[in-house]
Amino acid sequence: MSIPSIIAIRDAEINGNTGAFYSPAKEKAANRDKSPFVFVHRFAVFRRIRNSFKFKLLILVFFALCGVVLFASKFGPYMGWIVDSPSSVFSSSRGGYTVLINTWKRNSLLKQSVAHYASCHGTDAIHVVWSDSDPPPDSVKAYMDNAVKSQTTKPDLKFDVNTENNLNNRFKPIGDLRTDAIFSVDDDVIVPCNTLDFAFTMWQTAPSTMVGFVPRMHWLSEQQDGISYYKYGGWWSVWWVGTYSMVLTKAAFFHQKYLDMYTSQMPASIRDFIARERNCEDIAMSMLIANSTSAPPIWVKGKIYEIGSYGISSLGDHSNKRDKCLNDFVSLYGEVPLVSTNVKAVDSRNEWFW
């Protein structure tokens, strides 16, 4: 066959005007891909995989593991399943923390609190700040003694008795402390032991700062004639902006050295203000520590339980009083020592995702 004949045959096989050579195999493949039956075929393959024994077994194992994780995280502690618990790292030789409970005329709540914190393995001692002209009733002391003696660790229990009702009493120096760590807590706040011990491990990484469970914030509200006015923000403010600059001493760790600094180094006018207004000792301690460290506190995210039905924060005009405290303290310091942050510590064992 001559070369012109070959060219003529190839020209005759050109598919349309596209210039592509005709191929029966390509045409068959193209028609197969366009056919609606290809989707049916692919679905049938997927259905066979889905109905296969191995696939069902894989799904069953996945959900079983999820169930085990959920069950262990929620009910494990009640059945003795405590894996790598922070409580297990404490011993008398390594030290723990002193629980400093502030109370006033709520003996039933106090008894519950003492019994709970006595059961935490990290508790080395419990000091009850008693501010009442009447001494602690014998029945209350006997109940607490029995609650402590029933525990394996048997922490020391002492009443720091003050005859004057003064909020500054909660931060008086304690001469016979065996621990550097103080856990300051109100008598109506219960922090689960595992959560408390996790916060203690966080405090050990930064022992000069304050580590707690109740974050609060401040922000600049207005500035006139060179004078700045600040607002005190509660929990919803923290939640909205994702920032905090204080953690309240109703549930917080700090170094025992700050008890002495609060009493002997902090401006006396601040303590006089607190004694007169019966408020804001927690703001004063936050500012004292921030002024000493130039660092923010650390908020530990964890469940805490308030077993009381009322407190200072439930009284009228509470927010305005906190604003006044904040601004008066700032004027005495001459600046704002508080440092804002958006960092929080989370125990990943209690979270669904890392």
Residue 112 has pLDDT above 80, yes or no: yes
Q: Which residues contact 145 (CB under 8 A, 6 or more apart)?
A: 157
Average pLDDT over residues 12-17: 45
CA 79/CA 67 separation, integer angstroms: 16
Query: Is a pLDDT exceeding 70 seen at residue 34?
Result: no
Bigger pLDDT: 205 vs 33: 205
Stretch 109-121: mean pLDDT: 95
pLDDT top residue among 162 and 8: 162
Domains of the chain listed by start with CATH number: 3-79 (no CATH), 86-350 (3.90.550.10)
Sorting pLDDT into bands at 50, 70 and 90, what band is 79?
A: very low
Query: In the Cβ-directed half-sphere of 145, how many Cα atoms lie within 13 Å?
Result: 8
Asked if residue 81 has pLDDT above 60, the reply is no
62-71, 160-169, 324-333 — which is least confidently predicted?
A: 62-71
> What is the predicted pLDDT for the residue at 306?
93
**Residue range 166-198, pLDDT digits in tens:** 999 999 999 889 999 999 999 999 999 999 999
Q: Please say if 11 is a catalytic residue.
A: no
Is the model's pLDDT at 144 over the cut of 80?
Answer: yes
Whole-angstrom distance, CA of residue 251 vs CA of residue 179: 17
Distance CA 207, CA 195 (A): 18
pLDDT in tens, 237-255: 999 999 999 999 999 999 9
Q: 215 has which bridge partners?
A: 247
Report whether pLDDT(334) > 50. yes
pLDDT at 16 over 80: no
What is residue 18's predicted lDDT score, i.e. its pLDDT? 45
**Residues 84-102: pLDDT tens digits?**
344 334 433 347 999 999 9
| Beta bridge mates, 251 | 185
Q: Quick one: pLDDT at residue 170?
A: 95
Q: How confident is the model over 216-242, as pLDDT tens digits?
A: 999 998 877 778 899 999 989 999 999
Q: Is the pLDDT of residue 267 over 60?
A: yes
pLDDT higher at 351 or 145: 145
- The whole-angstrom separation of Cα 231 and Cα 239 is 16
Residue among 160, 188, 282, 317 flagged as catalytic? 282
Average pLDDT rounded to a whole number, residues 283-299: 97
